[in-house]
């Protein structure tokens, strides 16, 4: 009998519901890399030197209701998304964090100016404000080498600003969509010309640095109705530890995790079941019941689950959904959340619950 049926049986019988089981975190793989983590409540706790060779860092940056993840090696930096849906949230929060982790960079618009620092890869999973609101400034302030974009056009000012920043930069621009012959895209009344425009596809592998690479598991060339359906999914290999970045990949409507997977999660199960197994999972769609079906979580089987969420109400819901958190715990994952101290943050939600995950060679 599954958990839901057991609960119903107890209630019908007039018995109190059973206490939830005590879930044990999943232990590390024998002989695999060592994975540790710490909460970062202020910028003073952010290391300002790159990790040593063979060691990697994943920064879950607390941006309130949004997502931003920085992945670092000794010889590379990758930023996956940078945005927030909170009205009071400033793009400067991401820039301030990056200034600590990578060093001050850019002009006075960048908050902490300095000689431009290299940011090897910037990935926009899909064009929603809570994933991209700070990316125009990131591209402006840093020496970005490669930009990866789903290619799903959102006719919105923030997306236009992002593409205009890319067009002004020296970055190589990659999309999953077909490259227009004139290298021009129209967004919000402006024609944006991007000279260095390339196409990427599902299955492409990109070397990040020594011992690190990412493989693209989902890249949809079509302009689908919901940008979430175009989320770029990356399998990131960091010295043998696996990080799965899914953006807002969904399974369909809001359902209990026990429902069968659909949409992007079903695609990943059907086409990349082996590749989605990961030590660390960025939980899809901020922990919403639109994502994280039980079959998908079982296949990923993460040791760590990263949930980036905040106080914004979607309809009548504030994410994450408790059913998703319980499902992750039942899988044995340790859940790291960016929303746990929002009410206590001195400058409003965001900033108090960043996490740094360190991946070191096994002993």
Reduced to 3 states (helix: H, G, I; strand: E, B; else coil), residue 297 is helix
Residue 180 lies inside a defined structural domain of this protein: yes
What per-residue confidence (pLDDT) applies to 21?
46
Residue 101 lies inside a defined structural domain of this protein: yes
Please compute the mean of the pLDDT values over residues 138-145 and round it to a whole number. Answer: 98
What per-residue confidence (pLDDT) applies to 24?
65
CATH code for position 52:
3.60.15.10
Question: Which stretch of 20-24, 65-69, 184-188 has the lowest confidence by average pLDDT?
Answer: 20-24
Residue 5 lies inside a defined structural domain of this protein: no
Domain count, the chain: 1
- In the chain the first and final C-alpha atoms are separated, in Å, by 41
- The percent of residues in the chain predicted with pLDDT above 90, rounded, is 85
pLDDT at 20 over 90: no
Beta strands in the chain (DSSP E): 34-40, 56-60, 66-73, 76-84, 118-124, 143-149, 172-175, 184-187, 190-193, 197-199, 205-209, 212-218, 233-238, 241-245, 280-282, 304-307, 313-314, 317-318, 334-337, 354-360
What per-residue confidence (pLDDT) applies to 81?
98
Residue 10 lies inside a defined structural domain of this protein: no
pLDDT at 7 over 70: no
What per-residue confidence (pLDDT) applies to 18?
41
Alpha helices in 239-308 (DSSP H): 263-272, 294-300
How many other C-beta atoms lie within 10 A of the C-beta of residue 255? 16
**pTM beyond 0.95, yes or no:** no
Q: What is the pLDDT of residues 280-337, one digit of tens each?
A: 999 999 999 999 999 999 999 999 999 999 999 988 899 999 999 999 999 999 999 9
Residue 201 lies inside a defined structural domain of this protein: yes
pLDDT at 6 over 80: no
Residue 17 lies inside a defined structural domain of this protein: no
pLDDT at 168 over 60: yes
Q: What is the pLDDT of residues 195-240, one digit of tens each?
A: 999 999 999 999 999 999 999 999 999 999 999 999 999 999 999 9
Please compute the mean of the pLDDT values over residues 60-70 and round it to a whole number. Answer: 96
Distance from C-alpha of 150 to C-alpha of 172, rounded to nearest angstrom: 14
Q: Regarding predicted confidence, which is higher, 33 or 1?
A: 33
Residue 16 lies inside a defined structural domain of this protein: no
Which residue range forms the structural domain that includes residue 271? 26-360
What per-residue confidence (pLDDT) applies to 2?
46
Residue 162 lies inside a defined structural domain of this protein: yes
Distance from C-alpha of 145 to C-alpha of 174, rounded to nearest angstrom: 11
């Amino acid at each position: 009998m599954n958990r839901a049926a057991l609960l119903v049986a107890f209630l019908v019988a007039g018995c109190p519901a059973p206490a939830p089981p005590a879930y044990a975190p999943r232990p590390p793989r024998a002989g695999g890399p060592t994975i540790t983590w710490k909460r970062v409540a202020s910028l003073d706790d952010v290391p300002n030197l790159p990790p040593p060779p063979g060691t990697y860092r994943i920064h879950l940056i607390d941006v309130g209701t949004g997502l931003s993840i920085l992945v670092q090696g000794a010889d590379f930096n990758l930023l996956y998304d940078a945005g927030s849906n909170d009205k009071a949230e400033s793009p400067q929060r991401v820039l301030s964090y990056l200034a600590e982790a990578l060093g001050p960079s850019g002009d006075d618009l960048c908050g902490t100016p300095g000689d431009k620092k290299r940011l090897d890869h910037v990935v926009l999973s899909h064009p929603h404000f809570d994933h991209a609101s700070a990316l125009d400034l990131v591209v402006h302030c840093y020496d970005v080498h490669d930009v990866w974009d789903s290619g799903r056009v959102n006719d919105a000012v923030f997306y236009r600003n992002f593409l205009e920043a890319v067009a002004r930069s020296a970055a190589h621009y990659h999309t999953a969509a077909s490259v227009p012959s004139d290298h021009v895209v129209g967004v919000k009344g402006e024609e944006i010309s991007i000279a260095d425009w390339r196409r990427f596809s599902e299955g492409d592998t990109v070397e990040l640095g020594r011992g690190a690479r990412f493989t693209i598991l989902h890249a949809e060339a079509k302009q689908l109705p919901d940008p979430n359906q175009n989320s770029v999914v990356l399998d990131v290999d960091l010295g043998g530890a696996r990080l799965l970045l899914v953006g807002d990949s969904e399974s369909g409507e809001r359902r209990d995790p026990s429902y069968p997977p659909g949409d992007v999660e079903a695609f990943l199960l059907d086409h990349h079941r082996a590749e989605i197994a990961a030590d660390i999972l960025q939980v899809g769609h901020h922990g919403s019941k639109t994502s994280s079906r039980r079959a998908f979580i079982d296949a990923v089987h993460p040791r760590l689950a990263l949930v980036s969420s905040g106080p914004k109400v979607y309809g009548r819901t504030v994410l994450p959904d408790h059913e998703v958190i319980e499902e992750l715990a039942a899988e044995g994952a340790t859940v790291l959340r960016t929303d746990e101290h929002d009410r206590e943050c001195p400058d409003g939600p965001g900033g108090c619950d960043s996490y740094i995950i360190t991946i070191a060679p096994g002993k």
